[in-house]
Chains A and B, each alone.
Chain A
Amino acid sequence: MSKILLLQGNQAVVEGAIAAGVKFFGGYPITPSTEIAESLAERLPLVGGKFIQMEDEIASMGAIIGASLTGKKVMTATSGPGFSLKQELIGYACAAEIPLVIVNVQRVGPSTGQPTSPSQGDIMQARWGTHGDHWLIAITPASVPECFELTLRAYALSEKYRVPVILLMDEVIGHMREKIELPDNYDEIPQAERKQPDCAPADFKAYAADESLVPPMPPFGNGYRWHVTGLVHDETGFPKGAGSATKAAADRQYHKLYDHLDDIVQVENYCMEDAEYAIVAFGGAARTAYEAVDMARKEGIKAGLLRPITIWPFAENEIQKLAGKVKGILVHELNRGQYVYEVERAAAGKVPVYSYAKYDNEPATPAQLLAEFKKAMAL
């Protein structure tokens, strides 16, 4: 049985978190993500979970890393200023391979920026916000139902690959309310499971991986003892200064994700079958793009939308294929131009790539996007 509700994107994330089995949230509320903390504070105690409002965003990351080490599914939620503060420990979570989910409901930045206005300005920060070579996953919902589904998916990916997953939202999707159909109870929703060691505690090597390259991760307090560090470590988990250890750690952390792009990278194709011109847009900006494509089609223009759902790793193959198929690509994003350079790189000069960057507090209307699209494609 299911129920039909009118929910905000942020509230659908909370439902997704409860359905995924999240038992711990450590956070510090910030607009436009506050509803996530607010609702989880209410919901978590009812399912045997814990909610802690920490003293700041850095401590929030520390808290969820610790809670994840005990075997729980964990979440924190924030917006740009908090996301900046979390970066140091996001790097730690990458290095120590701690599964966790960070929700970033983007607002206009940099710094305090425009707290209540939508933006997609943290695209590159989601990938490269923390220092050093590192690999993680970022996914972006474009509807309220997708907020629920992608929250579940964030845990599936995070637990499977032992990697931080960023649910990269924006204010448009976080705050709008639309129809969602949710199951009456979440008991039948499959729960993502962390791989467990099949050896005795005495033989356990914390970072020894099989061919999946993902090491098993027993919860603390269960007899398996291991050392967790942000220093480069070998398979014992203890720091190792050798160059070969640095290279081995980086290679394994890269390949554990990038050998599985088919499993990780998702895009939606809208009206793409016979499309001659494409818009690439994601999250809140995609909502404008669907309608602009519909309007273009009514004018007889064969337009389509490629919507990256997985933002990182980048949809390399999908954009390459797109560049081989259409006459031009327009990237529409709510920032001054970030993702467009990735698309341009993957298109590799095969077709012209244009940018419609919008960064004035308001999402583009479909008519504005259509006008920019026609201008770019000289239609």
Chain B
Amino acid sequence: MKYELRLSGTGGQGLILAGIILAEAALLDEKLAIQSQSYGPEARGGASKSEVIIADEVIHFPKVTKPNLLLAMSQEAAAKYSHDLDQDSILITDSLFVKDVPAFGGKVYELPITHSAKEELGKGLFANIVALGALVKLTGIVTEASLVKAVLNRVPKGTEEANKKALTVGMNLIK
């Protein structure tokens, strides 16, 4: 088993952290995982991607070459990082930001990720955790128990309940 994910959007949306959490959840499931990232010199803004490979066997090359899943949380990211999707790939977009969905022949889930974070948690900054909830519910790539544990290991003290709720909000986006 080898599953390749690319989480992309705008610098500042927390996608590098989301990638780290996903990889740590995979380790909790006793799988192997590698996370890598690429970004421009800006601290905020600019297209940003965080890649995660989860596998049962040793992973040599750390970058995604055949994405099973692309999460795109900005229009620029959807355009820039969708070039190697194929008909077996899954694309999840944040419908608040991605209006023009690239055609690649595979499944697309246009989800109100940031919108739900704002509506149900009062803050758009939970969008990365909402997105994790949705993509794990959709793919089952890590167990939900490990995902919750990995999120709680990484988020600031005092925000545990809100983050747990963010995961649930994300999971509920997948019917």
Contacts and interface: CB of A to CB of B under 8 A. Distances in A.
Query: Are both chains from one complex?
Result: yes
Interface of A: 4, 6, 31, 115-116, 172, 175-179, 287-288, 290-291, 294, 362-363, 365-367
5 contacts: A116-B39, A176-B34, A176-B36, A290-B61, A362-B63
B62 A172 contact: yes
Contact of B27 (A4, A175, A294): A4
A42 to B, nearest CB: 17
B47 interface: no
Sort A-B residue pairs by CB-CB distance and give the 4 closest, nearest first: A290-B60, A177-B35, A291-B60, A176-B36
Contacts of A115: 41
Interface string B60-104: 111101000000000000000000000000000000000000000
Contacts of A116: 38-41
Nearest to B31: A179
A177 B23 contact: yes
B37 A6 contact: no
Contact of B32 (A175, A179, A366, A367): A179
Nearest to A115: B41
Given A291-B60, A365-B63, A365-B65, A179 B41 contact: no
B62 A287 contact: yes
Contact of A178 (B34, B37, B39, B63): B34
A76 B91 CA distance: 43
B4 interface: no
Interface of B: 20, 23-24, 27, 32-41, 59-63, 65
Contacts of B65: 365-367
Contact of B20 (A177, A294, A365): A177
Given A288-B61, A366-B65, A176 B35 contact: yes
A299 B15 CA distance: 37
Contacts, number: 55
B41 A287 contact: no
Contact of A175 (B37, B40, B61): B37
Given A287-B62, A366-B65, 8 more contacts: A4-B27, A178-B62, A179-B27, A179-B33, A288-B60, A363-B61, A366-B60, A366-B61
A131 B41 CA distance: 33
Contacts of B37: 175
A176 B60 contact: no
B62 A6 contact: no
A290 B23 CA distance: 22
Nearest to A294: B60
A6 B35 contact: yes
Nearest to B50: A177
A6 B36 contact: no
Given A177-B34, A178-B62, A6 B41 contact: no
A6 B41 CA distance: 24
A177 B36 contact: yes
A177 B16 CA distance: 11
